[in-house]
Amino acid sequence: MTSLTFSEYGERSEMMQLVEGDCPKTKVEELPHITKVHCSVDSIKKLAPILGYIDENLFEKKYGRIAHLIRMPIQISAVKALMHFWDPSYRCFTFGDIDMTPTLEEYAQILSFLNDPYKVYFRQRIESTATAVAKLLYLDQVDRYRTSNGGFKWKMIENKLKTDKEKGKLGEERYQIIVFAIFGLVLFPSKAAGIISIKAANAFLEFEETKNNPTSAILAETFLSLNHCRLLGKGAMRCCIPLLFMWIVSHLEASKEVFNNF
């Protein structure tokens, strides 16, 4: 495979655009009416107390601003209304003559992971994920924390967190446990409430081991969820709802700063 410089890649892309043109724009009238879209944030709201186990300033220096997503007050009705303006062909929100879409740079700025957001995350070795996560989080008898389809029961891990604190056995692994919860319940939520999927666990593990910035994967999940629900007119938003809400609110005109930490 021939490697291209950024300049060569740009020139080739422009030439393809001139030759092939744009993809056909979706006709809004042909899309199904949005009837029922599930945007669950119940698991996120229940996470707030666990931030009491950590020093949030130290946490932010190591993991960026992902803890802020837990406290974000979200208007689900606003997110559902926003979906009516999503164009699945162009991957953008269309408001009259204005097109807007979340960008990698914007998501990276909000999350503030410390590493390069342009290095794309690739899922790896699902087979050994559970064992590696159990070792990293000090989960003994790992089967107690697993679901029948391979995911992790957050409630069981949270109970261990509380028990270890009461016994004075809670060490630095508490930071990894909090990140694990945020990855599995906020950044990459699963279909079942309170369950951290094995895929989310894999993303967490790759971040801990390689420090690859997961922003591109988070943005990709957002596009996939928006397209799925808009094309079917129903479904579940399996993406980071607080981040999408924070993104659109940050573009609204307001008399005062919307987010104090920006």
> pTM value?
0.83
At residue 127, the pLDDT reads 72
For residue 73, being part of any structural domain is answered with yes
The one-character DSSP state at 38 is E
Residue 38's beta-bridge partner residues? 236
For residue 19, being part of any structural domain is answered with no
For residue 221, being part of any structural domain is answered with yes
**pLDDT over 70 at 147, yes or no:** yes
pLDDT grade for 178, boundaries at 50, 70 and 90: very high
Question: 3-state SS of the chain: helix, strand, coil percent to 5?
Answer: 55, 10, 40
At residue 1, the pLDDT reads 41
Three-class DSSP category at 102 = coil
Per the structure, the complete domain to which residue 198 belongs is given by 34-249
For residue 90, being part of any structural domain is answered with yes
Tell me which residue of 98, 101, 76, 75 sits closest to 88, measured CA to CA.
Answer: 101
Cα separations (Å) of 155 from 159, 181, 231?
6, 10, 34
> 175 phi and psi, to 5 degrees?
-65, -40
Cα–Cα distance, 132 to 182 (Å, whole number): 18
* Lowest pLDDT segment from 81-85, 242-246, 258-262: 258-262
The single residue listed with the structure tokens 């056995």 is: 169
The one-character DSSP state at 146 is B
Q: Where are the alpha helices (DSSP H) in 121-214?
A: 129-137, 154-166, 173-182, 198-210
Q: Where are the alpha helices (DSSP H) in 52-190?
A: 56-63, 68-71, 76-83, 104-111, 129-137, 154-166, 173-182
Three-class DSSP category at 121 = coil
At residue 253, the pLDDT reads 74
Cβ contacts of residue 247 below 8 Å, gap of 6+? 102, 106, 107, 110
For residue 237, being part of any structural domain is answered with yes
pLDDT grade for 259, boundaries at 50, 70 and 90: low
pLDDT tens per residue, range 224-250: 999 999 999 999 899 999 999 999 988
Cα–Cα distance, 117 to 108 (Å, whole number): 6
At residue 209, the pLDDT reads 85
For residue 91, being part of any structural domain is answered with yes
Q: Tokens at residue 77, please? A: 């009705």
Cα–Cα distance, 259 to 256 (Å, whole number): 9
For residue 13, being part of any structural domain is answered with no
Mean pLDDT confidence for 192-209:
89
For residue 14, being part of any structural domain is answered with no
**pLDDT over 60 at 87, yes or no:** yes
pLDDT grade for 41, boundaries at 50, 70 and 90: confident
At residue 250, the pLDDT reads 86
Task: Domain count for the chain, please give it.
Answer: 1
At residue 261, the pLDDT reads 45
